[in-house]
Chains A and B, each alone.
Chain A
Amino acid sequence: DAGVTQSPTHLIKTRGQQVTLRCSPKSGHDTVSWYQQALGQGPQFIFQYYEEEERQRGNFPDRFSGHQFPNYSSELNVNALLLGDSALYLCASSLVGHQNTEAFFGQGTRLTVV
């Protein structure tokens, strides 16, 4: 079992560009949540996808969008990148109806905006 996998691991983009980050959930999981972790801070919830729909959203602008595919994998898209979007982006997966179980996270994608 590969667990939660994210790609790429590192990424450098220029202000104003767009970026797509990818996440494959743990085998058997159907729900994917995305978090942003700025340096020295705890992760902040961006949004969660289940059944290919956004189910919950944190306090992030519309520049942050996502998608979930039929195989439960997910993408996080960020448009019009700002320097402040530089962070570690974490993906977590779970199984709906089994939320109170161990949390599974990917290794994260470190995005640097220059």
Chain B
Amino acid sequence: KNEVEQSPQNLTAQEGEFITINCSYSVGISALHWLQQHPGGGIVSLFMLSSGKKKHGRLIATINIQEKHSSLHITASHPRDSAVYICAVRSSFGNKLVFGAGTILRVKS
């Protein structure tokens, strides 16, 4: 079993829909990151969470440390949100990031 599991693997939505991507992890962590990767490879950091909830524009990220679960929500989705969304955790023991496999999101107009 992978240390970081994401669901769903693929997601297709209509423009305007509310989207949720989930991330579960099995290790102790010091922080959790939500990242966005567009075709071509570059990764952009969306959020870094260690507790609670963060909001940036139409994006909301939450984390429940006790349940070892995080969600990324996109409100009023738009075709430009189409990308791969990756959850990554920074282990409590060491400095490396452990990544989920990513969720491929396609938003249709």
Chain B associates with chain A: yes
CB distance from A93 to the nearest CB of B (A): 12
Q: Which of A40, A43, A56, A103 contacts B94 (CB 8 A)?
A: A56
User: Which of A55, A104, A105: most chain B CB closer than 10 A?
Assistant: A105
Known: A103-B33, A103-B48. A108 touches B42 (CB 8 A): yes
Interface size class of A (residues with CB under 8 A): 20 to 34
- Does B42 contact A31, Cβ atoms closer than 8 Å? no
- Does B41 contact A110, Cβ atoms closer than 8 Å? yes
- Does A107 contact B35, Cβ atoms closer than 8 Å? no
- Does A105 contact B98, Cβ atoms closer than 8 Å? no
Q: Is A92's beta carbon under 8 Å from chain B?
A: yes
**CA A42 – CA B23 in complex, angstroms?**
13
Known: A100-B31, A103-B88, A107-B40. A92 touches B97 (CB 8 A): yes
Stretch from B13-21, B64-72, B99-107 at the A interface: B99-107
- Does B99 contact A103, Cβ atoms closer than 8 Å? no
